[in-house]
Structure 1
């Protein structure tokens, strides 16, 4: 049975399947990038003050700050598109979709940060979940509303085309205006008297 507001037809199944496969591939890549041990001789202490790392990155200058902050924004940004794609709802509320997607991205980012605390060579940085969550929100806002609008228009166009194809080839059946009832004297055969 199809969920209310979900995309219908075989195209929807393909979109959801592609979203699910891409989501799993992206999560595997994120796990490999974030949770593999690093062989480093020295590790910085954990950062538990919000925005301290971002300020330090900005102090390094524009190219290095853009690389570091951009990396934090880009790590989980594809989730902003892949989560709604895997869910497959066309008629979802934009605000509710954004909240669900950002909440899922924030929880995943916090989970990664907690898991990193036990990985050798990795350090907990409270700014990374903030940047990751902001990246998810920005990607969602940039892509999902426009994509849903485009898919809705395409679905409406297909529906209109299907309705037109259901009509007979000769067009609509003409309607005949009502004919009044003839008086009985006109309907009876002439009498022989």
Structure 2
């Protein structure tokens, strides 16, 4: 009987389930924050020029600019950790993982911006899309590689680069002797 290790049994399931539950909870919170109608007397036009909104916020001064930029970076940042956690794989290329998670964050942010065009008091903003995507990538880079390395050490796994491409031969394949045909 082969020992399953840290990720062979219930620990992997617990991590995936926890990641999935936290992911759904975070997406519900994001939907509530970004897609509820606002009661405002007037609405700014959509910002389709990259960095124009960030420049105008920086012109307002330090506290307001920091609140807006950090809010944009932080809104979807937990996805950078929760998406790999819900996937539950530890032997993954760091670059491939970063690209997948960043692309998923960008697509989710784009979907939110497109949905906001139909919500009263909300408008699309390209700067929000950029900040949300950068926030996902930064959170992923800050947490996931170190977390996966720690889990691999704890589980006793080798890195994916150390695994041989071909498995060693295990000998001849057993054969079954012919059985004659019954009369």
TM-score normalised by length of structure 2 = 0.81
Task: State the distance in 2 between where 1:129 and 1:99 align.
Answer: 16
1:70 paired with 2:60, answer no
- Paired residues, number: 152
Structure 2 Cα separation of the partners of residues 104 and 146 of structure 1? 21
Q: Which has the larger radius of gyration?
A: 1
RMSD: 1.2
Distance 2:116 2:149 in 1: 38
Residues 95-118 of structure 1, C-alpha deviations (whole Å, 9 max, x = no match)? 000000000000000000000000
1:1-193 to 2 correspondences below 5 Å: 7-156=7-156
The unaligned stretches of length 5 or more in structure 1 are 1-5, 158-193
Q: CA deviation at 1:8?
A: 2.3
CA contact (8 A) 1:83 1:101 kept: yes
Give the CA deviation at 1:146.
0.4
Report the TM-score when normalising by structure 1.
Answer: 0.77
Instruction: For residues 138-180 of structure 1, give each alpha carbon's deviation from its aligned partner in whole angstroms, at most 9, with x where no partner exists.
Output: 00000000000000000018xxxxxxxxxxxxxxxxxxxxxxx
